[in-house]
Structure formats: structure tokens, C-alpha cells
Structure 1
Amino acid sequence: MDPRTSAQDVMRCDLCETAVVQMHCDTCLVNLCKACVGEHISTDESKNHKVVKFNARKSTPLYPGCKFHNKQECTMYCNQCDIPVCIKCLASDKHLGHKLSEIVQIVEEKKDKIIKQLTELNDTIYPTYQDIASDVQNRIRQLEKEYGDLSTAVTKHGEDWHREIDKLVKKLKAEVDEMKNTQFQTLQKHLDEINKKISDIKDEINSVEMAIDTNDLSKLFSVTSNVHIYRNLPQKLSPTLSKFIPEKIQGENLSKLFGTLSSRSLTSDKHGYSMKTTQKSPEAGSSPPVKQLLDEPETVTTIDTGYEELYNVACLSGEEIWTRGNNKIMKLYSINQGSLLKSITTKSGNYPWDIAVTKSGDLVYTDYSDRTVNIVENEKTEEVIRLQNWIPRSVCSTSSGDLLVVMYSGNDKPTKVVRYSGSTEKQNIQFDDKGKPLYSSNPYNRYYISENRNLDICVSDDGAKAVVVVNQTGKLRFSYTGHTPASKKKPFNPLGITTDSQSHILTADYINDCVHIIDQDGQFLRYIECGLSDPWGLCTDTNDNLFVAQRDNRRVKKIKYMC
């Protein structure tokens, strides 16, 4: 079948536009037939054309051009200068002694990070924003209904008032009519009495006049006058009219009498929205698969970190861990190979006090001397939080993407835990319900922090010799003060702390060379010893493997303790 006349056409050469595509130039992103390859290359001989079979297109990396040397490709990457470099760059003295990497390796690492970020965008952030938008839409619809109901209530109350006013007006008018009729009848009766006397007077006048005009003397002697009676005039009745005295209509008073609206507000939730995660808390979703503690925990592998003293460990993945010791360098190690993958130096040159890993895989560290909390992304360090009157100690990243920071003040203020979203303070945890400090306060005390799967906030406080656990609102749940092994008999000295999928809380007992496991309600479950020596920092991976940073022997132990 002729491809040019078939219903389902094929891709054609970008040059001749007739032949079927067989080749592809990865440099110019042009589709070619075999016959046009030579012509394409000759059109611009300044480029290093990478012509491959069409099925292998985009397989050849296109190296970035050098900013300093024209027409040179950058195949290497200077980690110290944080820029791609070409062969001429390397030949110069500018990058002498700098650590270099193949740019393909850097790109793969960046691609992995971008893929993780894309996964977070697709699986977590985008669905969360959809849920938030749906929630706001529901609130708008609910608001429309509630304000409609409010308007209806005002109208109904107005109608009730109209009915009561109409009844009152009708009652007052009836009283007016009754008063009018009563006074009218009284005056009418008085008038009738006066009119009768007038008639009687007229009759008496006629009778007297007739007697005067007659010569009949007997009639004259028979006249009896009632003038003395009529001299007593009737009483004068002056009706007093009733007056209508209306109450003065004052808008403010009338409004109070009629009814008022309560104050309106648009409040912001203290904790805001929570990021939607595939791992929800037991209260919010299904519980994880139930795992059992092993009768005998076992050491899987040991990694020598090379520090003089090792303090903290943080899991990047099931394959890689970050460590920090007694200098300014934080190191990333391969768990399986035990090899050093990457080193990061603190921005200030001070040694970090604590390290953690965010949900997106970025390294977080606290700078005790600089009073900052910093995030390292793509080997670039960004200051996220800078404190004025407080000094940051430990830090952890929560399931919602917030940061929890333990900090203390040098002016005798109680130690506190602060929740941050980015650089914005969202929550402050410092006192219990009775106003007493939750944590000890001393510049020499050490604190470490972790969030449990049930969203409890767990802090190890070696000054108080306790693990202090509060719920997500900051209300004290319990304090665990240790269960010293019979063989040790030394005071409980909690340092590093972590949690697992079963909401167990694990804390390193530095003095007693063991790790305590307690349940989410503070009940002691068991110890992990496994030949530990001076255990300090702890972390767990997604498979519930425990990593223990041992201070003096500078090794990280990977321990399997659940099945």
C-alpha cells in the first residue's frame, strides 16, 4: 500500500518531505531519511551532529554549551562552583583542585529529584489542592444557604412586627372610639336636659304674659314664678380629650428592640490544611499492616562514617542515609555499599546541631551558632528560618510537610517546640494545661524530636531524663521516664528519637548502650542492644529498619527489629 495514499499516513523526512523517516538527528531534533543525512550534516558543519536510527532518537545527550568558550560542550560539572564546565574550562586554573562530576550523573540525580517532585505534585500536592478547592466551594455553597436563611429570619421577624403593630394600632383606635362615644353620650344627655329647661322657660314666659294681658284678676293671682329655679344655671361640662403620646423613634433603640446581627468573621484555622498523603494517620484512614517485634533483633550492616564523633543519622531512602558528626560536613552514604556518595558543607561553616530529611527528599539542618534552620536542595543551601532570641536545637519534617523545631532561649525562658510552614510560625508548644513547662531548660541539655504516625509530637529531653509526648494540638499525653535494664542500672539518658509504621516510639539510651521501644501510649515493649556502643542518633526507613548512629565508634548500624 502506498503510504502517501493510505488512510493511516507515516512520518516523512523533514528535508525531502517524501521519503519515510529512517534516521534522526539528536542534535537538531530533525527527522531524516537515509538519503538526506549527508545533506543535513553539510548544511551546518559547525555542529556536532548526532545522527541515530529513528527508533533510538533522543538517546544521545545534548550537552549544554559553555558560557565562556564558544562552541564547546560541557561534559563535566564543577560541584564547588555549581556550574557545567567544558574541556577548556578544565584546562584553566579556575577549577584547579575542585571536585568534578560527569554532567550526565548530575543530570540523572537532578532527574531523579524532579521525578520525586513530580510524583509528589501528582500524588500529594495536586489532589490536596483539589480537596481544598472542593472544601472552599462547599463552604461558599453553605455560606449562600446560611445567609439566605438569615435574610429569611429577618424578613419573618419584620412580618411578626407588622402583625403586632397592626394589632396595636387597631386596639388604640378602638380605645379612641370608645372614649369618643362615652363623652359624646354624656354631652348629648346634658344638652337634652338643657333643651328641656329652655322649653319649660318658654312655656312659663307665655303663661306669665297671658296673665299680664288679661283683666281677669284671678288669673293674675294664680301665676307662680319659677325664676328662682332657672336662676340656678346648669353645670358646664368641658370634655378633656385624650392625647396620643408616641414613643420617639430612634434608629439605635429601634434596632435593639427589633433585633441585631451578631458579629461576622472569617477566621483562619490555626493549623491550616494538611497535605493529603498516601500514608494517613490511623484516625484518618486504614491502618498499616500489623508487624511483630522480633525476639532477637539482628544487625544487617554497619557503615563507617569517618567522623571523629558521630551524632545523627537521617534516612533519605531505603538505599541512602545522611549523617552528621563533629564538623561542618554532612555526608550521604550508600547503605548497601557503605560508600560515600556526597558531602555538603554548612553555609556558615559551623557544625550542624541536627539533621532531617523532608518528604520531598531535601536535607534540613539546624545551625546552633548561626540561629538558623536551613534546607539543602540540589546542593544549594537556603536559609528558611532565622531566630532572634531563640537558639534552634533539633528538627524534624512532619507528614504534612511542616517543620517542628525544638529551641531554647538564653534568658531563662522555657524550652519550646515551634511548628513552621516554610518560614511561617503556625504553632507554639511550651506549657501543659497547668501552665508548667513541658521541657527542661538548660543550654547543656540535648533534645531530639520526631512525629509519630498518629501525629503525636515526641521529644527526648535528656535534661529531664524523659521522653515527652504531646498530641498534635500540643496537649500533654504522657512522659516516659525509662525502664533501665537490670544489667545496666544506670539512669535513663534519652537522646536520638524516631518512630515507625506501628506508631512505636524508639529512643537511644546513650548511657545504657541500648534503644528503648515503647508503644504510642508510653508502655515499655523491649530493648534493642545488638552490641550497641554509645548510641546517639536514630532513624527508621519505610521498611521499619532501624539506623543507629554510634558516637564514639563513628559507625551507623542498620538493625532489623520487626517482621
Structure 2
Amino acid sequence: MAQHYLVCGTEDCKRNCQFYCNPCHQRLCERCRDEHQESPDTKDHEVVPYKQRKPQLPEEKCNLHPKRNVDILCKDCNVPLCAKCIFMKEHTGHQLDDLEEKYAEKVAFCRSEISKIQVYYLSTSQGLKKEIKEDVMEIKKIMDEIRNSIRAEADSLKELVDKVTSDKLEEANKIEETLLKTLNTQEKAYEDYTEYLEKLLRELHSYKSVANFKIVFSDDFENLKIQSIPETTQPVLPVFTAGQFCKDDVSKLLGSVNFPNTKPDNRRIKPMETASTQLKLTGKQTRRDVEKSDVKQTLSLSSSVTKVREYTVPGVDNVYHISLGKSDRVWASDNTGNLVHTDLKGNQLQKIKTSGTDGYHTVTQDGDLIYTDRKNKVINKIKQNNTITEFIKTGDWEPISIHSSHINGDILVGMKKGGEAKVTRYNKTGKEIQNIQRDNKGRELYRYPHYITENINGDICTSDFNKRAVVVVNKSGQHRFSYTGRGSEFWPLGICTDLLGHIVVCNGLYANNTPDIIDQDGQFLSLLLTPQQGIRPYGVCVDDENNLHVGQYNTNTVTVYKYLQ
């Protein structure tokens, strides 16, 4: 059957709905969203992606004034009111809230609790249940080994040990039965807990319904809490102690099955904070970080480079810099200040005019884009709802390049003022916390830091065109090394790092038109591409699949390569 999709709420518009105007409670497609924000009457309205919409307050008639709808919440009485109710004596002096805002908070709470259950409680309990099944298999394996050991000794003693062998096997069977009984009980506990969570999920989903509007303000709802995951213990595995052959003590000869003197460990339940990082990006390790760590163990530089795909960035003349966002979205810019948001199919999502030319934009941990405005000496932020705000003022310094740390969310900015240059570190809220300008002998580190990035070890890697070097300092600002290429023609352009700590820098413009790969200590490893391949690289970045995106300065086509194996 064909699946119905949500359509735009604008009259006579049948396009797919992607956005939502919270003040108007109207569904919007991308085109109608743009018209809505350009209209003088609605340009200040809050327009968000549809999934981030605020729920519309259902029409509920006031009990005391049936011709009016409730739209106010008395905080002291915790009851919905209409505008006429607030003048009643029993609510005089009480604190009042916008009912629609409070209702949105309640629904948001439901969504949050649903996410916790789906991401943490269900997955964790199911993981523990899987662990129990693995323990069952391990118990069976250990007990098989023990039974084989018992039989091996029994065979060497022939008929004399047959009776004792039977007794020992029975003892082993009883131990296995006891262990499996315990594990079955634990498994049943998690099955019951899973049923409870699924019931709670259905209940929370029901609270989002308009029909249950009043329930979300009840005491039962306020006291709603998720029960903790049951604690269970891992089984202590029995071991077999071999005996000594002796006709007088058959029982001792065949050994015994017993438990080591070890206290059983509680099954490891990951803390809620770990799961919370899967709901939103923070400076802590996420599941993707864990997956990357696992992948890192098996990755290495490939002996050959494979072209994966190409995509075109509309609205730019060339691709000087690339910032990868979420959901296969890309920000790309050229040398004339055009900054374009696009997907990998070449569909333009947004375009703005800036004063930047080189590595002047980056995507933050929250998924927002920040970019430098050299002309006005500020750093701007573009939120995911496409609103642009001023984020950081840089004073007398002209911001050139920028990078948002994947480690802790800090913001690194390459700047210049007259004949001076420096790198400044801000925290994710925009507070200045570090300035890096000279080495420990007082010599200038930078002249024109037009691209900047951070390596996995915290090193700050800067492509400095005027010094014709990649300047690398540690996270404390101490100079580690400068890479100046392998010959006289080294003009560093776009720069990025990968999961293995490799530094990829474009050597182009007047030179060999190749991306150089060096390790995190500055040693040259290889040329990623050769001039014969016809690529003129300028901007580079690595995606989550460890592919390298290469933008060029003679075309608006970006080529994607796989260079790790």
C-alpha cells in the first residue's frame, strides 16, 4: 500500500510538510516556510523542523465560563483557567502561566521519557537478557568440559570407578540444574521488566493524546517515575579439580565439582548518563565513539584510493571549504563568499552571502553551523531552523578560520590583526579561554592561519598559507612541529584529520595539486592523489564512514574517496 505523507498546511499547496510555525500552528513545506519568514506579518514567527514543533493547545471549554476556552494555568492551584477566571477571588494574587507553554513542556517530558525508555531502559535490559543467554551457553560449555574430565579419569579406573563416576555425573547435573534455574529466574525478571516498560511506554504515549489533556496535570502524572532496572548477579562458574588414582578412595580420585571462593559480581548496568549521550551530543563518549574506537583497531592506510561518489554543490563557483553536518547534509563555500547548505544529491537547502573565503565555517556538536564574518569581526551561528544570530565578537582581531572540537565542543579560531596572527580558543558558550601566538622562544607561530582543525590527541593543526607550513601545537599551545612539504613548492590549503590521527592537507594552487597525508608527529606518509588524476584539491573533510570529501577550486563538484582499509 502507498504510504501517506504529511502535506503542507498552506491553502492549495500539496507539497511535503517539513517545517512548522509554532505561533500559527501551521504545517509548512520549504517554499512556504521561506514565504512565511519573508512576510512582514510573520517574519518574526518561530519556524522549526516539524519534529521539533510545539503541540497545539486543544480547545477545552472552561467549566465556569462555557463560552470561553481555557488558555491560562494557575500555578498555585495547578488548574487550567480562561481569561475571565483570573479575576475571580480564589485566584487573586496567584501566579499564572501560559497554558500552551506548560502543555508543551508536559508533552516534551513525555517525549523525553519515551526516548529514555527506548534508548536506555529497553536496550539495557534486553542487553542483560542477552548476556544471560550467553551465560547459559557458557555454563553448558563448562559443564561439558567437566563431564569430559570426569569420564577421562573414570575410563582409566575401569569397572572400579563406574559407580563413583555415576555419582559425580549426578552431582554435576544437579549443579547445572541449580545454575540454570537461577539464570532462568533472572531471565524471567527481565522479561517482566520489559513488559512493564512496554506498558509504561503505551501509557506515556497515551498522555500525548488530546483526550488525556487533563491527566498530564494530575498528581499521578507528576509522581510518574521509571522503576530501576532489576539487579542480577553473574553466575560463578564451577571448575573441576582432578583427583589422584587410588583404589582405596575412588571418590577422591575422581575429583570434585565445586565453586571457586569468589563472590558473584552484579551484572554491569551502564549508568543513565552514558545513555543520555545517545539522545544528544555532549563532550562525553557516545555509542558512535565506541564504534569508532572498535573500527580504529582494524583501519590502516590503503595502498590504493577508490573513488566512492561525486556530488555537485549548487550556487558556488568552486569548493574552497566543506563542513559536514547531520543526515548527509553539507555546507560548502567558494572564494567569493557564497555559503551553501545542500544534501549529497545536490539539492540546495539554504544559501547566504558572507565575507569569508577559506576555512571560515564549521558544524558544532549540537549540529549548528558557525562561521566567521571578517568584515564585522564577529562569529555568527546558523541554527538548524535556519535562523542566524551573532555568537562571538572578536574585538580588533579579524577571524579567518574556525573549527569546532569533536572532543569537547571548544571553538578554535585563526585570526589576524595587521602583521600579527594567532589562534584563540573559546568554550562552547563563546567564552575566550586561550590565546596561542608565539612559541616558547617568543617567535611568531602564525602569519595567515586560513584553515584550522584539531587532531584526535588534542593537537591544533593550522594551515598557514603565508608561512607555507602546517603549524601544529599541542592543546596547551606548545609548538610541536611545522610541516613544510617534501620540496620547495608547498602551499598548504584545506586541512582535516581522521580517526587514526592522520593529517590530510591540500598542497595546491601553484604546486602539485595533491593532498599530502602525514602522521600526528609530522612524518610524511603518502600522496593521496596524483596530478595525473586531474583533481585540483582545495577543501577537504572526513565523514563518519572514514571517506575523504575533496572540494576543488576549478569546479563545484566534490569527489569522495575511500583511502583507509
TM-score under structure 2 length normalisation: 0.50
- Structure exhibiting the larger radius of gyration computed from Cα positions: 1
TM-score under structure 1 length normalisation: 0.50
